Chain A
């Protein structure tokens, strides 16, 4: 079973470049989200979506855009990369019960370096 698939696994960008991190899930989960993981900071929520056509900001949304045109896909766009966006990015999905997010299923992560 594929679960949550993220691409690419590794990427190096120069400051000012743009790119898209792809995330796809095959579990028909309504809820999808993007986190970044930095040393000593744990996981911080960037953006999330509770269904196709609906997105919202998390804790650290600046510099990132998202869209949700289908249930399966939730791409994360960096419009103008900055060194502060060097991080490991995780996509996660869930099937909320009564509107509450329970267990999250994570992808394997995308390691981004911005020079």
Chain B
């Protein structure tokens, strides 16, 4: 079945460091791919999305490119801030129309 695998956390970075969080997926067909972010004590909210191969989603300085050849959707940011500390979830929508989430990656950014 369809699935999403993320790199394990926690990831700890210094402010202004470069961020990569790896996400790979297994799916039949051509799902849309998403990154959600969960700040402490809150629900998840959509960060960015891509609906077809080679699409790049971007928001708040974060980017991710839908790579069909490597079945990946890695999240990147050139310079992280303390306020980016959160848990990040990669997700896809499967043929049944439901969203399937990865296990989440916790990011901690130190001043």
Residues of A near any B CB (own CB < 8 A):
4, 31, 33, 35, 40-45, 48, 50, 58, 90, 92, 96, 99-104, 106-109
Contact = CB atoms under 8 A, between A and B. Distances in A.
Interface in B8-50: 32, 34, 36, 41-46, 49
A109 B38 CA distance: 11
Interface of B: 32, 34, 36, 41-46, 49, 89, 93, 97-104
Contacts of A42: 89, 101-104
Given A41-B103, A42-B104, A90 B97 contact: no
A103 B49 contact: yes
B101 A43 contact: yes
A88 B80 CA distance: 28
Given A33-B98, A58-B98, A100-B32, A90 B103 contact: no
B103 A40 contact: yes
A58 to B, nearest CB: 7
A45 B98 contact: yes
Contacts of B42: 108-109
A43 B99 CA distance: 10
Contacts of B45: 106
A100 B44 contact: no
Nearest to B6: A42
